[in-house]
Structure 1
């Protein structure tokens, strides 16, 4: 056997028993493949949502224990999440979004959109019921509603991982609007008129311009999220109808606020 062939053969043997590092080209190829998988499927939150490049999801599978993936002789990567982990993340995200954009306190019937209306009037802004007044946030949880955005979100046992991940990505989109809600509160509170002072038209116009610059595009985005959420709610119910045993499912509202009922 020629020296260079013998050297190549020895290197392959050492790689097989993890006694030698794989070639640079193979490491780059594997790492690039792994990064592509993570970039296209992982939510922004802590749970790793990748299935691994060579792992195929089977709908209806049981909630298996976490599986670990390796790349070459590298350390163990983050575990592939189970259904229960994804469901816990959904409940956590949903509760943050609900309290950040819709209901102020689960124990009291108070809502952000109503508070924004009061602050708007206090800043001298009249209600017009036009774009930018965030009427899309006027949502209440009702059991009978099936087309009510995140308020209608319901989970069933055995939903596919792809369905759970799609819910997470939509909730993350809602979550990104919470900071804008804080900005709207700040603008309106700083523009409140004193009790015995008439409205300054220039000041009121400035507050309205600053408020609408955030509220109007925010409202359009949330309307798009609502449309997509309603479709996902429908798809979840359709998927559950295909299960061997019929289920009633459970609203996320009940999971997030177990003591509210």
Structure 2
């Protein structure tokens, strides 16, 4: 057998990737992107620095009070609840009901409800990415809230009513708009997870894995241990 025959022999040819191999590779790329986007959204909207850092709600509350709102009283809310004052006390500063929508959206941490299931289609993974990209866009909104409050800090002088009005006009409307968008994304996330759960059931029935795995604990396994959650098999897929 000559050299020409040896080159063309089947044993000497490199195995070409099959259609299945290409699909698996694409799924891995999408899963990696999901982890990357989730981290950006989580650390940009909910938590500062890393999984052990303070949350953005706490930081924004501190800046809200520092912008001259530490003694602010939501008078309209108090008038409606006058008969509760003796037992509940006054809502002042960052505890004011004027910020209830913002605290509800941030402290809910709806992003943590994201779950994935084994064998998801590329279409489903792309839908998750699209939703996470919408969350990531809201990081800019959080940065804008920080910027506004830092611009409104009053330093060491005594706050005035003008300071309070400036915060109410320049910060609160933007905070409320952001809150509505974030809560809507949380609602869409629940719908998406339910759809993926139904897809898994239709494909596999009551097979192992029907509960899925939480992306958050796969990305932050330390939290999984502290909260008694099972470590996901996909935790090695960190971005």
Superposition TM-score tier, normalisation by shorter sequence: 0.5 to 0.7
Out of 117, 124, 127, the position equivalent to 1:156 is 117
SS in structure 2 of the partner of residue 65 of structure 1: helix
- Alpha-carbon distance in 1 for matches of 2:47, 2:120: 27
Tell me if 1:129 matches 2:97: yes
Distance 1:228 1:132 in 2: 18
1:108 to 36, 41, 52: 52
TM-score, scaled to structure 1: 0.61
| 2:151 is the alignment partner of 1:190 | yes
SS in 2 for 1:241: helix
CA deviation string 1:39-59 (max 9, x = no partner): xxxxxxxxxxxxxxxxxxxxx
Identify the residue that residue 117 of structure 1 maps to in structure 2.
61
Alignment deviations for residues 206-247 of structure 1 (CA, whole Å, 9 cap, x no partner) = 233111232121111111111111111212222222343421
- Relative to 1, partners in 2 of residues 1:217 and 1:165: Cα closer, same or farther, differing over 3 Å? same
- TM-score between both structures, scaled by the size of structure 2: 0.66
- 2:179 matched residue in structure 1: 219
The 1-side partners of 2:31 and 2:150 are apart by: 37
Number of positions where the alignment pairs a residue of Structure 1 with one of Structure 2: 178
CA contact (8 A) 2:30 2:125 kept: yes
* Cα RMSD, aligned residues only: 2.4
- Alpha-carbon shift at residue 201 of structure 1 (Å): 1.8
8 Å Cα contact 2:68-2:163 kept in structure 1 = no
Moved more, 153-162 or 238-247: 238-247
How many angstroms does 1:250 deviate by? 2.2
Please tell me whether the aligned partners of residues 63 and 84 of structure 1 are also in contact (alpha carbons under 8 angstroms). no
1:254 to 217, 232, 237: 217
Between the aligned partners of 2:202 and 2:21, the Cα distance in structure 1 is 21
Aligned counterpart, 1:199: 159
Q: 5+ residue gaps in structure 1?
A: 1-61, 68-80, 141-148
How far residue 139 of structure 1 moved from its aligned partner, in angstroms, is 3.1
